[in-house]
Amino acid sequence: MAPPVTPFNSQVIRDAFPILGRRVHGKPLVYLDNAASAQKPEAVISAMAQFQRTSYANVHRGLHTLANEATQAFEDARTKVAHFIGAGSAEEIVLTKGATEAINLVAAGISQRLEPGDEILISELEHHANIVPWHMAAQRTGAILKWAPITPDGALDMDKLSALITPRTKMVAISHMSNVLGSVQDVTAIVAMAHAQGALVLLDGCQGVVHQSIDVHAIGADFYVFSGHKMYGPTGIGVLHGTPAALDALPPWQGGGEMIEIVSKERITYNVPPFRFEAGTPAITEAVGLGAAIDWIQSQDQAGLHAHEQALLNYTMEALHGVNGVRLYGTAPGKGAIVAFNVDGAHPHDVAQLLDRSGVAVRAGHHCAQPLMTALGVTATARASFAAYTTFEEVDLFLAALAKARNFLL
């Protein structure tokens, strides 16, 4: 099958990512581990270096020029995030260390309101980051953790999910797009069902924010979280979006500088959101990097970029469908550019290592989704995940390397 021609020019994009020029085991790097972390364009790398060279200082409390410039750069990043996801204002954006920290922050706050017998609803396809904090909240409070199951094609079973939401449900925490199966959930429907029963909704947007344009206002969840490093930004920075009402009602999490209003020997009063949730010196340079990543994404044809990823996905799924000895996981319609697979009789770690010898980087393991592995009846899978810079030629190299590995392993 000949690769389709899309109007999208990946080569121009590739030139913006210096790491893509390197070789691995003497072969051109084919980086298909984007769901774990994406590579960084020069614009992000140089924005961070430039900030450190020219305007670096601590933020918020300073009166000198550099402190003001750094504060401006940090707050500009917050504003960029707000515009990027359609938030009502920058005050709705809490900058965290990553999605994991954002979910822990919300779970810890919600725990203070939970009572024994209250219910938290998550699903079988969650990343551990959206499981463990809720397990811990349930353990601390006596709340009950309930699990929405998946359909055979790897989407959420919406009928069963709907039946699991009751007046006792206090939180529904669901991944917008599965990091293993790529399935995209009908999040507006989930929000409507949860809100009808008075439950809050947290959406884990780690993958969702990368593969489609997000409008948190239209989605209507109380909380939407994601990490910078999967969207071409740096590690160490992530986002908690909360509606003004949801953030106002959330108690402080970590204590320290910046999250307070007044501290005396007798008492503390707390700052308003988002600062109430940002104790201590934040990841200043990383926030600048996240802002640069958003600028970079917005300088691209985003609709074209998403269509290109979708075309890569369809091409790969078609090529692998029905190949003897290759099993695909996650075939739900509308899924994003992630392909989970196994080679019959081979451990995915061996598959990943053989692919690496051909320069192809894929991930193998449980992908921090052990309950999902159990639901799929496996302990691990291999996973190829695409990005804006992935080309059809790379997919062909991946398919050829996989065919070679399969012949070797079968």
Residues forming contacts to ligand PMP in the complex (CB under 6 A) are 36, 98-100, 127, 129-130, 175, 179, 204, 206-207, 227, 368
CA angle 160–166–172, rounded 5-degree value: 75
**Is 206 labeled as catalytic in the residue annotation?**
no
The span from the CA of 308 to the CA of 14, in Å, is: 14
* Phi, psi angle pair for 238, to nearest 5°: -150, 180
Nearer to ligand PMP, 337 or 397 (CB): 337
Provide CB contacts within 8 A for 379, sequence distance 6+. Answer: 366, 373
Cβ at position 233, least distance to ligand PMP in Å: 11
Cβ at position 367, least distance to ligand PMP in Å: 7
The span from the CA of 120 to the CA of 208, in Å, is: 22
The span from the CA of 297 to the CA of 84, in Å, is: 9
Cβ at position 102, least distance to ligand PMP in Å: 8
Sheet of strand 326-329, all strands in order from the earlier edge strand to the far edge:
326-329, 338-343, 381-385, 363-365
Cβ at position 171, least distance to ligand PMP in Å: 16
Cβ at position 330, least distance to ligand PMP in Å: 13
Nearer to ligand PMP, 98 or 242 (CB): 98
Which of 368, 375, 378, 409 does the annotation list as catalytic? 368
Provide CB contacts within 8 A for 280, sequence distance 6+. Answer: 254, 256, 257, 258
Residues with active-site annotation = 368
